[in-house]
Chains A and B, each alone.
Chain A
């Protein structure tokens, strides 16, 4: 079975500070990993994805994430937070299982607050 744990339901940082959002996954087979961002009353927007290529993945808006198999982690980082980064962030996992490929398992989300 697949699952995702996001440590910290709320993270607050000052503008310009490092952003670190934690995600650990559980999967019995090699996973595909995703980070999505959700702004209030909107759908989910893909930030970045890991699909077994490079372990350091760069996404939009200056975000990146590193896949660490030994730690079963896929933490999201951004060197310098901007006010516009305030949103909810979801980590998700899916696996290659033939016809059922693609079903996403989401974490509970982390609300990021950015202080001026």
Chain B
């Protein structure tokens, strides 16, 4: 069990560019979550996968955001036409559904800065 990993750890981009983040969950965890955390705030839910199916999306996830988990393992989060307001820490978490009392384990996050 190597924990949840995220890449890159830091990303600096210019406004209008596209960025993609990757999350590798703990092996055999069937649930994967994305959250966004801005300065001084708690994490806010973005979206959630059960295996490869995306089951819930927050209204925070605008049309510029897309997430995939093609084989039910790793996941990617893409932001198109980035805006300065997208600057935040993007956190990934994974869990294993066991009697519906799963616990989420978080990765170190990807810090995005949009100039």
Binding site for B on A (CB under 8 A): 4, 9, 32, 34, 36, 41-46, 49, 51, 90, 92, 96, 99-109
- In the complex, the number of residue pairs spanning A and B with C-beta atoms less than 8 Å apart equals 65
The one of A49, A90, A101 that contacts B42, using a Cβ cutoff of 8 Å: A90
Residue total for B at the interface (Cβ-Cβ under 8 A): 30
Query: B109's contact among A42, A102, A105, A109, by CB below 8 Å, is which?
Result: A42
Whether the Cβ atoms of A108 and B55 lie closer than 8 Å is no
In the bound complex, do residue A90 and residue B111 qualify as a contact, i.e. CB atoms below 8 Å apart?
A: no
Contact with A along B28-49 (1 / 0, CB 8 A): 0001010100001111110010
Q: Are A104 and B108 in contact (CB under 8 A)?
A: no
Residue of A nearest to B107 (CB): A43
User: Chain B residues with Cβ under 8 A from A90's Cβ?
Assistant: 42-43
Q: Please name 18 further chain A to chain B contacts, defined as beta carbons within 8 Å, in addition to the given A51-B101, A103-B56, A108-B40, sorted by A numbering.
A: A4-B42, A34-B103, A36-B106, A43-B91, A44-B93, A46-B105, A90-B43, A92-B42, A99-B50, A101-B100, A102-B104, A104-B35, A104-B43, A104-B45, A104-B104, A105-B45, A106-B44, A109-B42
- Which residues on B sit within 8 Å (CB–CB) of A4? 42
> Smallest distance from the beta carbon of B9 to chain A beta carbons, Å?
8
Q: Which of B81-114 contact A (CB under 8 A)?
A: 91, 93, 95, 97, 100-109, 111
